[in-house]
Amino acid sequence: DAGITQSPRHKVTETGTPVTLRCHQTENHRYMYWYRQDPGHGLRLIHYSYGVKDTDKGEVSDGYSVSRSKTEDFLLTLESATSSQTSVYFCAIGAGGSGANVLTFGAGSRLTVL
Amino acid sequence: GQQLNQSPQSMFIQEGEDVSMNCTSSSIFNTWLWYKQDPGEGPVLLIALYKAGELTSNGRLTAQFGITRKDSFLNISASIPSDVGIYFCAGDPNTGNQFYFGTGTSLTVIP
């Protein structure tokens, strides 16, 4: 988890409330990603960023928004949490570029929506 | 999204045995990554592959980038108890550094 910090690590919330998860990196990597992990589905990409204020949707983006105002921070927001968004959320960073790109993951944020 | 089929879904083996798992895709990938995840932690990179046919080792682990660019394989030799965990493959079709993950192989090593 060197260089990547996710907060909070655990959160319990109620349906309909907004939730923001934060990912902070100290590696100055260009790419940042948010994945969710659910049993039987592996890791699925929610949103990713390829630079400050440059973001794009992943395969499961409905119900989520992101923002990246600084290189080091990538925020994931659930505007109105639903029980189907109960999951473990992982942030990842990547330096980008073909032939050398790998993802480094944070420790995860476990979200429970009641 | 891209579909990555990872098999087997789970494995139960005796300590000292060799392990093989694979990942296949319906489309061509330009990068294959293999990760291991321990309970309560994030995935950790084991091996990265960037060229078709490439064979790369990391200690007892060996991974190959398939010639067709639609598959990859991971082998673990002489398994030990600390090999227990979930192994994931990930591929990048080079559509903007998006990585897609397989559903994982759960490995149990019996001492």
- How many CA atoms lie less than 13 Å away from B16 in the CB half-sphere? 1
Q: Which residue among B40, B45, B50 places its CB closest to the CB of A104?
A: B45
Q: What is the predicted pLDDT for the residue at A42?
A: 87
CA distances from A57 to A44, A49, A62, B9, B103 (A): 11, 9, 9, 28, 20
Q: What value does the mean pLDDT take over residues A62-87?
A: 97
Q: Which residue among B90, B94, B98 places its CB closest to the CB of A48?
A: B98
* Residue among A113, A103, A109 at smallest CA distance from A32: A103
Helix, strand, or coil (residue A71) = coil
Q: What is the predicted pLDDT for the residue at A73?
A: 97
How confident is residue B96, by pLDDT bands cut at 50, 70 and 90?
low
- Report the first-to-last Cα separation within chain A, whole angstroms: 29
Q: What is the predicted pLDDT for the residue at A64?
A: 98
- Rounded to whole angstroms, the Cα distance separating A110 from A90 reads 9
B-side interface with A, Cβ within 8 Å? 1, 4, 6, 30-31, 33, 35, 40-45, 48, 50, 88, 90, 92, 94, 96-104
- How many CA atoms lie less than 13 Å away from B84 in the CB half-sphere? 11
**Which chain A residues are Cβ-neighbours of B92 within 8 angstroms?**
101
Mean pLDDT of chain A: 93
Q: What is the predicted pLDDT for the residue at A2?
A: 61
Q: What is the predicted pLDDT for the residue at B94?
A: 73
CA distance B16 to chain A (A): 27
Q: What is the predicted pLDDT for the residue at A99?
A: 59
Helix (H) or strand (E) holding A93: strand A87-94
A100: pLDDT strictly greater than 80: no
* Residue among B17, B21, B41 at smallest CA distance from B109: B17
Could you report the per-residue pLDDT of A32-48, keeping only the tens digit for each?
Answer: 999 999 988 889 999 99
Are the Cβ atoms of B101 and A42 closer than 8 angstroms?
yes
A1: pLDDT strictly greater than 60: no
Q: Which residue among B31, B42, B104 places its CB closest to the CB of A105?
A: B42
Could you report the per-residue pLDDT of B15-44, keeping only the tens digit for each?
Answer: 999 999 999 998 899 899 999 999 999 999
Q: What is the predicted pLDDT for the residue at A14?
A: 97
How confident is residue B1, by pLDDT bands cut at 50, 70 and 90?
low
Q: How many helices (H) and strands (E) does chain B have?
A: 0, 11
- Rounded to whole angstroms, the Cα distance separating A33 from A104 reads 10
CB-based contacts of B48, cutoff 8 Å, min separation 6: A102, B31, B32, B33, B34, B56
Are the Cβ atoms of B44 and A105 closer than 8 angstroms?
yes
Comparing A17-31, A57-71, B53-67, B81-95, which segment has the lowest mean pLDDT? Answer: B81-95
CA distance A97 to chain B (A): 8
A15-19, A27-31, A52-56 — most confident range: A15-19
B110: pLDDT strictly greater than 60: yes
- Rounded to whole angstroms, the Cα distance separating B48 from A95 reads 14
Structure tokens at B47: 């091996």
